[in-house]
Structure 1
Amino acid sequence: MLTLPPLLFALQGSESYAVRVAQRLGCQLARHEERDYEDGEHKCRPLDPVNGREVVVFHALYGDGRQSANDKLCRLLFFCGALKDAGARQVVVVAPYLCYGRKDRRSQPQDPTITRYVAAFFEASGVDRLITLEVHNPAAFDNAFRMPAWNLQCAELFAEHFAPLVGDAELVAVSPDSGGIKRTEQFRQALERQLGRSVGSALMEKHRADTTLTGTLLVGDVCNKIAIVFDDLISTGETLKHAGNACRKAGAGRLFAAATHGLFTTGSQLFDPPIFEHIAITDTVPPFRLPPDCVTRQLQVLDSTALIATFLAENGAFDCV
């Protein structure tokens, strides 16, 4: 019996990303319906038959002007439940940006560990597998999910971007805090593979009390070198600023930054005044909070859809990428 390829669905707000993945896989998005009711409730249902099929659902769970992260999460969970009720054999969620990834531990008495609760929601809705990009804490992510869940890392993608820009200059990969050491080390190793030579490393001291950042110690030599501050996401941008200013003070010759998810919750504050020659992000979250001229001059947005398409092709029923 011929095995049918998976059906790909994209909920409202994630269509553009999903279409680009589908194009790489040589297929089109399946049809579905989303309806909003007067009291704020909603429903989503597939319009193409899903009985006995493997189904892939795309939804990036960041808040925007139309829906909050909570709204998107709720819609995704309900839609996955509807797919299972309609007979879908397997439901795979692709969430390029996964919400609540930063609330993964107790920092105060009686604190919630929301990453674990989100994992339970996915499991209760019948989701069989989850694919996401560059989670905040890989260990907490691995421990939260009992179903198969994959965290695809973007170190190689950023290394491919920066390698042609640095020439023969000495290069240092900078972690903006102790929590990002392993992530930055993966990026450093990817740069070494791309360049065929050694790349240095540095670490910025950071302590956070509410919204205040402190810490002045920069471990590592950046003087007269190209420094690239590497992180998983940009929210207010204060962490990148903190590390970038320290690198400037320590004599860095050129300064760049990179992060997979660009939330930019305070708008263009990170770029006023600009510290970095440019900041590279991926397309998991569109930079909708930034003015167009800021995106054009200060930002480089990298296409991450090949990572998703390749992973689906290697772990699903697609013939090509």
Structure 2
Amino acid sequence: MTSAYGYGDITLIAGTAHPALAKAISAELGQPLAEARVARFSDGEVDIKLDEDIRGRDVFVLQPTCPPVNEAWIELLLLLDTLRRASAGRITAVMPYYGYARKDRKDEGRVPISAKVVANTLVTSGADRVVTLDMHAAQIQGFFDIPVDHLYARPVLLDEVIAMGIEDPVVVTPDVGGTKMARAYAKRLNADLAIVDKRRISGTETTIEHVIGDVRGRNCVIVDDLISTGGSITQAASTLKAQGAKAIVIAVSHAVFCGPAVERLDAAPVDAILVTDSIPPKQPSPKKLKVCSVAPLIAQTIQSIHHSKSVSSLFE
């Protein structure tokens, strides 16, 4: 079906970063993935060839820039360039996980703003629009002069939290920067809010200063956008347990799980770990992990964009 702006039919193209999620989105839309070859030359360079005509179509490229981040990023850029040169009508980069988002400003001298570099390269390579999920810093949208649809995993994770029937919950953010996200969860759950005040020592090490809010005898839901090495969130869980918390549930959007993350999560005093499938599951995974799919949410978003309907209404 042609879109309201005259673009052709929806066409889905997937890179190799997360084929399972691409197939799930394809199934939700009842739309097959386009025939495309994403391979490697013998020296490791990316080799791409489209095997069907996409002229004038409304194309959505499904590719999170998850680990290995640089491989996924280059694949995405070359896919965008391929589509632009093949005369696609509109090209949307669907990035359930936006890599390099943690470097969104100059927080010290002589460092890059990596998130801006990613934005520049996406636009230069041919993206007309970007769809992403729970950016580490929402202000990264301002790095683009093209439309950015910033989705939230909150409805997906909240459905699972509500189904667990947690009594007397307290929503906890493991750092002050996540207060807005935590407040949104607390409002939906009609719950109190607590903040774990941490101080970052290095890129991989933090220390807990104190907890703002009452957690003694309460069930805690720790919410965050991602788990990388697991240091901050497991320290937060241990601190909450030491201050008398009962059950502890972790709910995060992106399960990056680098380095010792799995071991730390298995050793942490938590009862459940809820994540989305924005990133392929790491093996082995934490024992208490449950994955909630964002495929229906992304499929709805693609339909809304194609038919020029509101995307924000999906979160109201």
- Give your verdict on TM over 0.5: yes
Structure 1 segments unaligned to the other structure (5+ residues): 192-197
TM-score by length of 1: 0.90
Structure 1 position 157, deviation (Å): 1.5
Counterpart Cα distance in 1 of 2:266 and 2:191: 30
| Equivalent in the alignment of 1:194 | none
C-alpha deviations, 1:149-191, integer Å up to 9, x for none? 1110111211111112235x21100010011111111121222
Which residue does 2:108 correspond to in 1?
A: 108
Residue equivalent to 2:289: 299
| 1:148 aligned partner, one-letter code | P
Q: Counterparts of 1:289 and 1:233 in 2: how far apart (Å)? A: 17
Amino acid at match of 1:307: L
Which amino acid in 1 is paired with 2:102?
A: R
Aligned twin of 1:262: 255
Q: Please, which runs of 5 or more residues in structure 2 have no aligned partner? A: 310-316
SS at match of 2:92: strand
Distance in 1, matches of 2:30 and 2:307, equals 12
Q: Mapping of 1:140-219 within 5 angstroms?
A: 141-167=140-166, 169-191=167-189, 198-210=190-202, 211-219=204-212
1:2 Cα deviation after fit: 5.8
1:235 aligns with 2:239: no
2:193, 2:247 → 1: CA distance?
15
Q: Which amino acid aligns with 1:222?
A: V
In structure 2, relative to structure 1, the CA distance for the partners of 1:318 and 1:21 (3 Å cut) is farther
Name the structure 2 match of 1:285: 279
**Aligned equivalent of 1:245:** 238
Q: C-alpha distance in 2, partners of 1:23/1:189?
A: 33
* Equivalent pair of 1:5/1:317 in contact (CA under 8 Å): no
Q: Which amino acid aligns with 1:111?
A: V
Whole-angstrom distance in 1 between the partners of 2:10 and 2:248:
43
CA positional deviation for 1:38: 2.0
Does 2:13 correspond to 1:6? no
CA distance in 2 between counterparts of 1:228 and 1:304 reads 20
Farther off after superposition, 174-183 or 37-46: 37-46
The residue identity in structure 1 corresponding to 2:149 is: W
Which of 27, 31, 34 lines up with 1:23 in the alignment? 27
- 1:96 aligned to 2:128? no
Deviates more, 1:37-46 or 1:128-137: 37-46
Match of 2:304 in 1: 314
1:57 to 52, 56, 61: 61
Query: Is the CA contact 2:17–2:66 (under 8 Å) kept in the aligned structure 1?
Result: no
Quote how far apart the aligned CAs of 1:242 are: 1.7
CA distance in 2, matches of 1:261, 1:84: 30
In 2, are the aligned partners of 1:155 and 1:190 still within 8 Å (CA)? no
The residue number in structure 1 matching 2:314 is: none
Deviations 1:248-277 (A, max 9, x none): 111111111111111111252223423100
Q: Aligned letter for 1:305? A: A
